[in-house]
Copies of this chain bind each other. A is one copy, B any other.
């Protein structure tokens, strides 16, 4: 990679300064570096030159300040569950591991919000909230850190009802490229005061600053929750009901698609006995009567579209099992082929274009001969392919690359986006340009303004060289 040549290597002075400041929480051990050089994606290992385990915003500022003086890259790391190689140190430098910043700083049941440190995971937060009657909805498959989720503008199964991190982050504490610390907003639910720095940093993947604290919206746990699965004779029939549900304005909390291959994988992995057919996973939230009403509308729509019977998960345990099956899709795919790796990619299109986009993509996968189940947060027009690949067969990767490029081109031609929720990372920088054209120049200008030496997670989102 030519850009790597431009990065400044870790100097002895910087190494000494960081070790003096952080002691055992500074490491250059190969195992530690390798652990931080990869995420859950297919991208190559790119270890940082050193790792610092930080515990406070001030410590992050100290690391950045020292690195900035030496013009050495800093790369933030949360749980390493990213899917586009965003936390790999492709230009070397110092990895800032935020996983020890796990304090929940404040929960306000009255204001339905909280503030957490960046290393708090979504499950940790919901566990903590258990007795308050509140929950935080955004749920990417992995138990990701909330800092990482904010940085990648993550979403998940219930974004169709509750929004993504874009809608659910109220404020951020951010360490800038020169070590300054800012807070992007106060706690008011809305504000017309100046530029929306919160939304600028949400989704910036560590390239503009490092998120250390996050203010989040919380929601009352609904009075009633019902979940069900429903099989369909074809993927077209399943997607048709998704479109009809959204267009009818039903405030469905989750509406997820797994194709036939995906269902087979999930059944096998979790020892379940769902029909091996294109399947929708539904969840309805509301009052008891409100949920009954939603169920009635959607069940009628499903019948019109030749859906099977709804199979209900009535107890909390049954519901957890149902959603665990959905969330385990990634591991279920991995298990389909021993020794395989999964390359997960996603696009998002306007809902009216979803049937065609999925149909054409399905045909393309079949023609390619690859194993690549489709799963999707289809209520948002968002779906994923999981290429299940043999790591030793480069031809498979090349074929996956072509199928992926065609899927992105298809989504863009439908006025969609090259990624609904995984981010750009290292994997989609060219697609970003295809999608945004001249607007990428604006992104570059913002990047240069906030990080003139390009030390903040360089090589991600934008190629600056």
Chain A positions near chain B (C-beta within 8 angstroms): 108-113, 152-155, 159, 163-164, 166-167, 176, 180-197, 199-200, 202-204, 208, 219-220, 222, 243, 246-249, 286-287, 289-290, 293, 348-352, 380-382, 411-412, 415-424, 428, 431-432, 435-443, 445-450, 461-462
Contacts and interface: CB of A to CB of B under 8 A. Distances in A.
Nearest to A443: B195
A249 B219 contact: yes
Contacts of A437: 182-183
A146 B435 CA distance: 25
Contact of A290 (B290, B416, B418): B290
A415 B187 contact: yes
Q: Which of A187, A222, A411, A424 has most chain B Cβ within 10 Å? A: A187
A350 B203 contact: no
A452 to B, nearest CB: 10
The 8 A-B pairs at the shortest CB distance, nearest first, are namely A199-B199, A449-B449, A220-B249, A191-B417, A110-B352, A188-B348, A187-B415, A182-B439
Given A290-B290, A442-B197, A154 B422 contact: no
A197 to B, nearest CB: 6
Contact of A192 (B153, B416, B438, B446): B153
Given A111-B351, A436-B193, A438-B182, A220 B248 contact: yes
A186 B416 contact: yes
A189 to B, nearest CB: 5
A450 B439 contact: no
Nearest to A183: B439
Contact of A191 (B181, B199, B420): B420
A212 to B, nearest CB: 14
Contacts of A442: 176, 182, 195, 197, 450
Contact of A432 (B166, B193, B220): B193
